[in-house]
Amino acid sequence: MDSIDDLRGEIARRESELAELRWRLAVAENEEGGGSEAARRRGEWKWPLAEHEYQRYGRQMIVPKFGLHGQLRLRKAKVLLVGAGGLGCPAAAYLAGSGVGVLGLVDGDEVEVSNLHRQVAHSTARVGMKKVESAICFLRGLNPTIDFRAHATHLTPENAAGIVSQYDLVLDCTDHPASRYLISDICVLLGKPLVSASAFQTSGQLVVLNSPPGKGPCYRCVFPRPPPPESVVGCGEGGIVGPVVGAMGVLQALEAIKLIARGGLERTPEEDVASPEQTTMLLFSGMADGSLFRSVRMRGRRPDCFACSGNAPLTPDYLRSSMDYVQFCGVAKPVQLLRPEHRVTADSYRRVVEGGTRHVLLDVREREHFSLANIPGSINVPMSRFMSHRGRDSLPEGVPGDLPADVPVYVVCRVGNDSQIATAKLRELGLDRHGERFVGDIAGGLRAWKRTVDGSLPFL
């Protein structure tokens, strides 16, 4: 009997083949059905676009200040999207729909079920497929007349120049600081404008960088130093509302289309298209009661910028051979704060529960996480209470402090990082009574509990 993974893989392969056939059919129909190509060969077709292009793009070409020239510029443009996820999917859809000549996608990840609530170019049938291949299946169905290029890899200092140099404009659709600095740096070195966006929970931000090349600020000008590693929380931990990241991706596509259609890729650096003082960052708050948008005026290029200043030390060779973006952003290894004797495995804690030993289990995930699923009997004391607690003579609100000395306290979180921080804080505050009471965490958190003890726990 075929496994579920095998069946999914076979469906993904068949969908890819079907998308290829549909694309070939559409191309053939466009070449023969409209008659414009045959007329062009006979010298009878005098219009700059093919007949099917007038039909497909007519509604945007009649927009004032867009027109035929805007469409011709789009057809000529080569646009690269780094990331085929929540931002990249809607951005790619609208760029493909608008008729850009070449659309490239860079992403080394595969489609997961948890992506589908926001990454609208993917589907359940394509779970397990490379994201760039899945997205191109969708995009070819939307517009088979443009050239799609798949780069099924992560952008790295070694391959960045080879990939980015093929395109005129780059959209940063990633979700990590290390990627953002790399993308900005290579765009500065190669003179490519960059449209950068981000989204988290219910908010987002958008800024056009290095535009025009050599004048506009780069990502390092806006953020000279990366955020503290402990403040970097991904969608898996902090969550994301689908329409929020979708809105930011659509706005990225709009900025790209504006830049292309207005001739922003054709002007030379000497032309004063947009002074650095005109750069603004758009801030979006999806759940705000009032205005959803506000703009913040950005400063121009920093005279001491590592990447784009007059004497910048960044060079192509330096980027390729010496830049360690993970180290620069301080991406930490998994938290290891506790000694081995202060940690227990999920299976060891199971034996505590089954043995009926009196104890306390603190779940330090935030309330929304806790409400989805939890270990029966656990007490929810969100990590935010530990981080904001300042007293040295009291415990964070919700932590029982009047327990007999022989009642052990266990702490659990999603993957076993926050639980270590909380445990260390509790021990520092004296809950362990100088070693009389066991205070420790469950290594691996609820992920380990699901994997080794209770498989019925929803995936977290």
Residues assigned a catalytic role:
235, 413
Query: In whole angstroms, what is the distance from residue 209 CA to residue 219 CA?
Result: 7
Question: Does 348 show up as a binding residue in the annotation?
Answer: no
Query: In whole angstroms, what is the distance from residue 185 CA to residue 175 CA?
Result: 16
Query: In whole angstroms, what is the distance from residue 253 CA to residue 257 CA?
Result: 6
| Half-sphere CA count of 269, side-chain side, radius 13 A | 10
Please give the C-alpha separations between residue 7 and each of 4, 115, 121, 133, in angstroms, as whole numbers. Answer: 5, 19, 21, 18
From the number of C-beta atoms within 10 Å of its C-beta (0-12, 13-18, 19+), residue 43 rates as: exposed
Q: Are 215 and 276 in contact (CB under 8 A)?
A: yes
If you search the block for the tokens 């981080």, which residue do you land on?
387
Phi and psi, residue 82, nearest 5°: -95, 105
Query: In whole angstroms, what is the distance from residue 409 CA to residue 120 CA?
Result: 44
DSSP summary character for residue 226: P
Question: Does 402 show up as a binding residue in the annotation?
Answer: no
| Token code pair at residue 204 | 């987002």
Question: Does 115 show up as a binding residue in the annotation?
Answer: yes
Question: Does 456 show up as a binding residue in the annotation?
Answer: no
38 φ/ψ sector (left φ>0, alpha ψ -120 to 50, else beta): alpha
Question: Does 329 show up as a binding residue in the annotation?
Answer: no
From the number of C-beta atoms within 10 Å of its C-beta (0-12, 13-18, 19+), residue 96 rates as: buried
Question: Does 116 show up as a binding residue in the annotation?
Answer: yes
29 by DSSP, 3-state: which? Answer: helix
83 by DSSP, 3-state: which? Answer: coil
**Cα torsion for 413, 180, 333, 412, to the nearest 10°?**
0
Query: In whole angstroms, what is the distance from residue 188 CA to residue 212 CA?
Result: 10
Residue 429 makes CB contacts below 8 A (sequence gap 6+) with 392, 394, 395
| Token code pair at residue 43 | 């010298």
| Half-sphere CA count of 306, side-chain side, radius 13 A | 16
C-beta atoms surrounding 314 within 10 Å = 20
Question: Does 137 show up as a binding residue in the annotation?
Answer: no
Q: Which residues are annotated as a binding site for Zn(2+)?
A: 218, 221, 305, 308
Q: Which residues are annotated as a binding site for ATP?
A: 86, 107, 114-118, 131, 175-176
Q: Which residues are annotated as a binding site?
A: 86, 107, 114-118, 131, 175-176, 218, 221, 305, 308
